[in-house]
């Protein structure tokens, strides 16, 4: 199975900060990596797909990039509604797998 190592597991940040979350895959994904935001008691929400494509309706302060097997989610200027847990997911090879999540706290 493809392992996704997500870091950090948690971070503290302030409104207006630039935040970067990394997801490292154990093998190549051909860009089939997605990022999700999840708030407590809610379903995940798709933010980024195929590594760098912004999902319709998602704020442009979210962006994704890739370099080999390293993937990055960046929030350019953290807003109050962005405090949540973020997950990466590979959709290249079954079984699809998720990273362990990054909790973004105030």
Partner 1 sequence: EVQLLESGGGLVQPGGSLRLSCVASGFTFTNYAMNWVRQAPGEGLEWVSIITTSGGETVYADSVRGRFTISRDNSKNTLYLQMNSLRGEDTAVYFCAAVNGCSGAHCPGVQKWGQGTLVTVSS
> Looking only at residues 1 through 40 of this chain, which bind partner 1 when binding is defined by CB under 8 A?
1, 30, 32, 34, 36, 38
Question: Using CB under 8 A, which of 42, 60, 68, 106 touches partner 1?
Answer: 42
> Looking only at residues 55 through 74 of this chain, which bind partner 1 when binding is defined by CB under 8 A?
55
Question: Using CB under 8 A, which of 45, 52, 63, 76 touches partner 1?
Answer: 45
70, 77 in Cβ contact below 8 A? no
Token digits for 65?
Answer: 């990039």
> Looking only at residues 71 through 100 of this chain, which bind partner 1 when binding is defined by CB under 8 A?
87, 89, 91-100
How does strand 10-12 pair with strand 4-7?
Answer: unpaired
Concatenating the DSSP letter of every residue in 35-72 gives EEEE-TTS--EEEEETTTEEPTTS-TTEEEEEETTEEE
Q: Does 46 bind partner 1 (CB under 8 A)?
A: yes
SS3 content of the chain, % helix, strand, coil (to 5): 5, 50, 50
Residues in contact with partner 1 by CB under 8 A are 1, 30, 32, 34, 36, 38, 42-46, 48-50, 53, 55, 87, 89, 91-101
């Amino acid at each position: 199975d493809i392992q996704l190592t997500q870091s950090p597991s948690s971070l503290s940040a302030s409104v207006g900060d630039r935040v970067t979350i990394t997801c490292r895959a154990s093998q190549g994904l051909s860009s089939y990596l997605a990022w999700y935001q999840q708030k407590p008691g809610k379903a995940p929400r798709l933010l980024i797909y195929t590594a760098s494509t912004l999902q319709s309706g998602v704020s442009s302060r979210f962006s994704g990039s890739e370099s080999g097997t390293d993937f990055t989610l960046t929030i350019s200027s953290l807003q109050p509604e962005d405090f949540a847990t973020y997950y990466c997911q590979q959709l290249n090879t079954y079984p699809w797998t998720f990273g362990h999540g990054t909790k973004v706290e105030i």
